[in-house]
Structure 1
Amino acid sequence: MPLAKEKETQEELSSGDSLKLDLYFWLQALVMALVALILIFTMVGRIIGVDGSSMVPTLHDHDMLLLQSLGYEPKQGDVVVLTKDSFLPQPIVKRVIATGGQTVEIDYRAGTVTVDGVVLDEPYINEAMQEPYFESITSVEVPEGSIFVMGDNRNNSSDSRDPRLGLVDERYVLGRALFILLPFQNFGAIE
């Protein structure tokens, strides 16, 4: 009888060891998946929230965005997230109006933005642009390695027209906003 009990105890231990081993492998797989996700979001893309209404109607306050970071170079028309601590401590979201080598002209009377002599077709802006309360930049040639950005809600946006932000060095760009992730009713690609 004692031999049978000893055998039964060994079977129970091996069953318990098997459960521990399975748990160990599942935990290891979960940790590896988490590390992979962290590396992907750190190097390839990021998730960031919108703070404010300067990009209405394209983006709204508290929208959560997926960014493309790795290998991204700003292009005219892209919606980008940038940071410039001397302007604001938190990241800001704006649309690229011009890149290095392009010339921007802003005509508040006509309500137009011209890049290299061509008036931009801007179906994404919220309303007709009015002259801001601050001393605005109205004409500028963008140097190589910099971008000129504006919010889609032109009358409620501190952007490159404001000398406090001005032209933005491309190194301050965190990435291009690709998708709205949250809230779910706004989910989709950003144009």
Structure 2
Amino acid sequence: MNEKVKKEAIEWMKIIATALIFAVIITQFIKPTLVRGESMYPTLEENDYLIINRMAYKIGDPKDGDIIVFSTELLQEDGDRKDLVKRIIGVSGDHIKIENSKVYVNDKLTNEPYIHDNYTEGNIDIVVPKGKIFAMGDNREKSLDSRYEDVGLVNEKDVMGKVMIRLFPFNKIGKVN
């Protein structure tokens, strides 16, 4: 009897240790996040539950059109830094110009079928410096993003990951573009 209990205890310890190892590995590669606000509408909506790939930019570079989650200096009500979900418009070396509600990247008018109301406020003319990203929400009228001093250009080191999958609501489960 004593030997049987000992063997069972060892098996349980193996199972728990394996589960803990998998949990640590998974949390190093992916991170869940919840959408707050309307800044990414219609692509993402309030309370969409997302999975972000934390390793995406450790093995590759950010590129235009990627949807990212990044940390800002803005504070939430609880005093923690606020994370934002936005779309990359320009990366290091890109010339970004916003004029007459149109967005140009490297002197080419962008095709942005994902934006809400097809209007982009602001007059911007900037070359994105090394190590920085210019990001905006898809719902430009409701988005606090790189056009505004409160957010500004995103430091690449502040990018937590690339949005990969929407898990909730269930009728919209799938890859996010």
TM over 0.5: yes
SS in 1 for 2:114: coil
1:101 deviates by 0.3
Q: In the alignment, is residue 115 of structure 1 matched against residue 101 of structure 2? A: no
Q: Is structure 2 residue 174 aligned with structure 1 residue 188?
A: yes
CA deviation after TM superposition for structure 1 residue 161, in Å: 0.5
Q: How does 1:42-61 map to 2 (within 5 A)?
A: 43-61=28-46
Q: Under a length normalisation based on structure 2, what TM-score does the superposition of the two structures give?
A: 0.87
Whether 2:114 is the aligned partner of 1:124: answer yes
Is residue 138 of structure 1 aligned with residue 124 of structure 2?
Answer: yes
Does residue 22 in structure 1 map to residue 8 in structure 2? yes
Partners of 1:66 and 1:181 within 8 A in 2: yes
Indicate the structure with greater strand content.
2
Identity %: 34
| Contact 1:50–1:65 (Cα < 8 Å) also in 2 | yes
Q: What residue in structure 2 maps to residue 84 of structure 1?
A: 72
RMSD: 1.9
AA in 1 matched with 2:87: R
Asked whether 1:104 is paired with 2:96, we answer yes
- Does 2:67 correspond to 1:75? no
So what's the TM-score if we normalise by structure 1? 0.81
Closer/same/farther in 2, CA of residues 105 and 164 from structure 1, 3 Å limit: same
Give unpaired runs (5+ residues) of structure 1.
1-12
Aligned residues: 170
Contact residue 75 and residue 82 of structure 2 kept, 8 A? no
Alpha-carbon distance in structure 2 between the residues aligned to 1:18 and 1:148: 62
